[in-house]
Amino acid sequence: MKQTLPYPVLQALVGDEEVGAFFSNEAELSAMLRVEAALAEAEAKVGLIGKDAARRIVEVCGAFQADWAKLAEGLARDGVIVPDFVKQLRAAVGKTHAESVHLGATSQDIIDTALTLRLKSVIEIIGHRLDTLTHSLDGLKRRDGSVRLMAHTRMQQALPFSAADKIDTWIQPLERHREALEVLAPRLLVIQLGGPIGTRGELKGHGDAVADAMAEILGLGFGPSWHSQRDRIGEFGSFLSLLTGTLGKIGQDIALMAQNEVGEVRLATGGGSSAMAHKSNPVPAEVLVTLARFNAGMLGTLHQALVHENERSGAAWTLEWMLLPQMVISSAAALSRAQGLIANLNLLPSKAAEK
């Protein structure tokens, strides 16, 4: 009962359990196993490895237990987890078919495709949450849209307008983000298979066929190897930061409207203070601002990783690993915090607008 938590407690404020789960060690391993299994199946299909080998690999991938300590050691040594992972996987598959594991692939194929697989699920969740949030804002507009608010420009009172006018400015960019996500998803969710230098050269003329089969098995799009071209990742990061930027603007508006002196919103439940019992802090509104500023900064750093040296940059790739998961989780958290905030929100007539 008084046990500790398996995650940093700050995640309770700025994290997201559902989406965060896709970036756990286990989820990454599981996605990597799916990729190795799909690779084997695809290679068997084109005759690069035997059907027996593929069957054995798929079977082992389904039940594989990693030696995590060794994986961690391998990652520290090799800069990527795959070499040790493949070694463990080959041992589990057994001598007969060991050579058929990971055939013609390279670390980056496994890591990037395993990431893409998880982003596919993440994108579905984000899309769904965007729909739900827009729906809630529509509901708020229907219910409170006629409330008279004061518009503010440059932090000064401008002219009165309706809550519907304000809510429209929150909904419109969300609708654009929803559309952008539809356009972005097929561009992003493309299999990475290139082999050591991105040419599919180790697949003996079957490279495109293997990639195509893998893509079908995994439900991803097909395209040439993209491992040294990180624009897709950068573009997804931009989407996330635009999304949290829009949500941060909503949060900023609500925090300003929630000021006691302004009193244009009432939060059903506000945050408490350890020193002042009378306070009701607009915590989720503030967190939306935090997450917007966080993601904006992460984006500027993620785009530094577009400068990928030659056929693989260890430095730039590792930088992505440190940033993208945080951005995804922050975005999911922002959607969730925004949902809670809007569901809790009542818009109140501005006294200034009545004058």
Residue 26 or 131: the one with the smaller Cβ distance to its own copies is 26
Angle (deg, nearest 10), helices 231-257 and 163-188:
160
Tell me: does residue 346 bind its own copies (CB under 8 A).
Answer: no
Q: Is there a contact between 235 and 185 (Cβ–Cβ < 8 Å)?
A: no
Residue at 252: amino acid letter: Q
From 5-13, 38-46, 55-63, 205-213, give the range in contact with its own copies by CB under 8 A: 5-13
Q: What's the rounded Cα separation, in Å, for the pair 254 and 256?
A: 5
Site for its own copies in 299-318 (CB under 8 A): 299-316, 318
Closest contact distance (angstroms) between CB of 107 and its own copies is: 4
Q: What's the rounded Cα separation, in Å, for the pair 214 and 93?
A: 20
Residue 217 or 353: the one with the smaller Cβ distance to its own copies is 353
Q: What's the rounded Cα separation, in Å, for the pair 63 and 295?
A: 37
Residues whose CB is less than 8 angstroms from the CB of residue 228 and which lie 6 or more positions away in sequence, other chains included: 198, 308, 310, 311, 312, 313
From 52-60, 124-132, 133-141, 228-236, give the range in contact with its own copies by CB under 8 A: 228-236
From 112-120, 131-139, 140-148, 244-252, give the range in contact with its own copies by CB under 8 A: 244-252
Residues in contact with its own copies, total (CB under 8 A)?
141
User: DSSP for 6-47?
Assistant: SS-TTHHHH--HHHHGGGSHHHHHHHHHHHHHHHHHHHHHTT
Closest contact distance (angstroms) between CB of 337 and its own copies is: 9
Closest contact distance (angstroms) between CB of 214 and its own copies is: 16
Closest contact distance (angstroms) between CB of 186 and its own copies is: 12
Give the residue, chosen from 42, 215, 220, 262, that forms a contact with its own copies under the rule CB under 8 A. 262
Residue 322 or 343: the one with the smaller Cβ distance to its own copies is 322
From 42-50, 54-62, 131-139, 241-249, give the range in contact with its own copies by CB under 8 A: 241-249
User: DSSP for 260-310?
Assistant: TTT--EEESS-B--SS-TT--B-HHHHHHHHHHHHHHHHHHHHGGGG---T
Give the residue, chosen from 135, 322, 343, 346, that forms a contact with its own copies under the rule CB under 8 A. 322
> In the structure encoding, which two tokens stand for residue 169, read together?
């400015």
Pick from 43, 33, 42: which is nearest to 85 by CA?
33
Antiparallel, parallel or unpaired: β 156-162 and 148-153: antiparallel
Site for its own copies in 167-226 (CB under 8 A): 168-169, 172-173, 176-177, 180, 183, 187, 195-199, 201-202, 224, 226
Residue 58 or 164: the one with the smaller Cβ distance to its own copies is 164
Site for its own copies in 89-108 (CB under 8 A): 102, 105-107
Give the residue, chosen from 282, 335, 341, 347, that forms a contact with its own copies under the rule CB under 8 A. 282
Residue 51 or 77: the one with the smaller Cβ distance to its own copies is 77
CA distances (Å), origin 55, targets 49, 77, 191, 203: 10, 31, 22, 19
Site for its own copies in 127-166 (CB under 8 A): 151-159, 161, 165
Q: What's the rounded Cα separation, in Å, for the pair 196 and 5?
A: 40
Site for its own copies in 35-94 (CB under 8 A): 65-69, 71-73, 75-83, 85-86
Tell me: does residue 275 bind its own copies (CB under 8 A).
Answer: yes
**Virtual CA dihedral for 57, 63, 68, 73, nearest 10 degrees?**
0
Closest contact distance (angstroms) between CB of 198 and its own copies is: 7
Give the residue, chosen from 21, 321, 343, 346, that forms a contact with its own copies under the rule CB under 8 A. 321
Residues whose CB is less than 8 angstroms from the CB of residue 267 and which lie 6 or more positions away in sequence, other chains included: 258, 280, 282, 341, 344, 345
Closest contact distance (angstroms) between CB of 268 and its own copies is: 12
- The helix/strand/coil state of 144 is helix
